[in-house]
Structures are given as C-alpha cells and as structure tokens.
Amino acid sequence: MSNVRVWTPTAEYILAMKVCAARADTQDAEDVKILLRHLHITEFKQVERLLLKYVPEERIAPKSRFFIEEILQETRADNEESCKI
C-alpha cells in the first residue's frame, strides 16, 4: 500500500481561487460560469460569502468583484434569453 495522498479541492475552493485570480484572456470566466451553475449560485452575495470562507476580505481585489459581477450579469442575460425561446 502506498503512502501517497492526493488532495482534491472542492468546487467551492476552485471557484474562490478562479474569482480571486480574475485572469483575462484565459478560460477562467467559462470555468466560473460552470462552477456557478454546479453550485447553484446566482447572486453576488452568495459568491462573496463563499470567497470569505477562503480569503480574507482585504485580499479580495476590486478586479475580482468586477469579474464576478460581470459574469453574473452575463449569466442572467443568457438565462433570460433562453427563457424567451
């Protein structure tokens, strides 16, 4: 038997790290959309509570807040559009 242990981060933790990184020109925005859907998160306050579980508030950059607000707006717009069809 091996003594190797593998740590697998939770979806919540991955979402928090992706939002904190808020990297442009990467797959992060699409990943965040998938994670939001998976975690049934639809509001900024839900994301904020999740972030604060893993990151001190003073370490959350304004760009991260704008990043998630923009993604949530896009997600709402996409949902509204799909309901019209």
Q: What is the pLDDT of residue 81?
A: 66
- The pLDDT tens digits of the residues spanning 22-71 come to 998 899 999 999 999 999 999 999 999 999 999 999 999 999 999 999 99
Q: Which long-range contacts (CB under 8 A, 24 or more apart) does 40-48 make?
A: 41/15, 42/72, 42/75, 42/76, 43/72, 44/68, 44/69, 44/72, 47/15, 47/19, 47/72
67, 19 contact by CB (below 8 A): yes
Q: What is the pLDDT of residue 47?
A: 97
pTM, two decimal places: 0.83
Q: Residue 84: pLDDT band by 50, 70, 90 thresholds?
A: low
The domain locations on the chain are 11-84
* Average pLDDT for 18-24: 93
Q: What is the pLDDT of residue 75?
A: 86
pLDDT exceeds cutoff 80 at 1 = no
